Amino acid sequence: ETGVTQTPRHLVMGMTNKKSLKCEQHLGHNAMYWYKQSAKKPLELMFVYNFKEQTENNSVPSRFSPECPNSSHLFLHLHTLQPEDSALYLCASSLRTEEGDEQFFGPGTRLTVL
Amino acid sequence: AQKVTQAQTEISVVEKEDVTLDCVYETRDTTYYLFWYKQPPSGELVFLIRRNSFDEQNEISGRYSWNFQKSTSSFNFTITASQVVDSAVYFCALSPTIYNQGGKLIFGQGTELSVKP
């Protein structure tokens, strides 16, 4: 595998379910990101991890819980979601969290909350 | 305020036409970076170009060219002789410096380009 991979690619869940999204990067990067992309809206940054430490939480509701066990893996744990949380969730990585560092994106997980 | 505006929501052209995607940004920083990404139907954002605010030289890469003008805070993207494979959503993004919080990229709303055969 190369680049940034995300699993699953598609997920349908009920509001009472608990599920997790997984992201893995094979680029030797130290920073990883979660973005939410809703229809007709710009990409919204959710979380940033730098060397496994969370450096940004962009006022994300607690029903989204990130986990970064090492610099190559990033998870997004989901519970008690709402229908408005349906979106494309994109993971990205970069060498550092410096301004100007190019972010490499995964293909995303298309989440539908019923 | 840090903001990126892509006023064109959707553009439709016929193959071989030239097309320009507009991007206007706002920032108080004197040093910043600008990006363009392409998002094909598969969903993955593909990096196209990065520009430092001190480098106003226009850039050409094959059929792609970028026009950076600090005086008008614009970073426009032109595709020459468009092809069907260019159909995608294109995002312009800003990476500020002084006000940056951990590698933040501020995205525009995207322009959906449809190239018809």
**Cα gap B13→B32, rounded to integer Å:** 32
The answer to whether the CB atoms of A43 and B97 lie below 8 A apart is no
Q: How sure is the predictor about B59, in pLDDT bands with cuts at 50, 70 and 90?
A: confident
**Residues near A23 by beta carbon (within 8 Å), at least 6 away in sequence:** A4, A5, A6, A32, A34, A73, A74, A75, A76, A91, A106
B110 vs A59, higher pLDDT: B110
Which regions of chain A does DSSP assign to beta strands (E)? 4-7, 10-13, 18-25, 31-37, 44-50, 53-57, 64-70, 73-79, 87-94, 104-105, 109-113
Joined together, the tokens standing for residue B41 give: 């139907």
- A108 CB neighbours in chain B (<8 A) are 43-44
pLDDT in tens, A24-41: 999 999 999 999 999 877
Mean pLDDT score, B73-84 = 97
CA distance A65 to B34: 30
Within 10 angstroms of residue B40's Cβ, the number of other Cβ atoms is 14
- What pLDDT, in 10s, does the model give residues B17-58? 999 999 999 998 888 899 999 999 888 899 999 998 988 888
DSSP 8-state symbol, A8? -
B2, B44, B47: which to substitute to probe chain A, counting the most A Cβ within 10 Å? B44
In angstroms, the CA B106 to CA A26 distance is 25
Q: Which residues pair with B51 in a beta bridge?
A: B34
pLDDT at B100: 54
CA–centroid distance for A96 within its chain: 17
Q: Cα–chain-centroid distance for residue B34?
A: 8
pLDDT tens by residue, A65-113: 999 999 999 999 999 999 999 999 999 999 877 767 889 999 999 999 9
Of B47, B52, B103, the CB nearest to A98: B103
Question: What number of C-beta contacts closer than 8 Å exist between A and B?
Answer: 69
Distance between CA atoms of residues B79 and A114, nearest Å: 40
Cα separation, B66 vs B56, whole angstroms: 10
Q: Closest residue of B to A5, CA-based?
A: B44
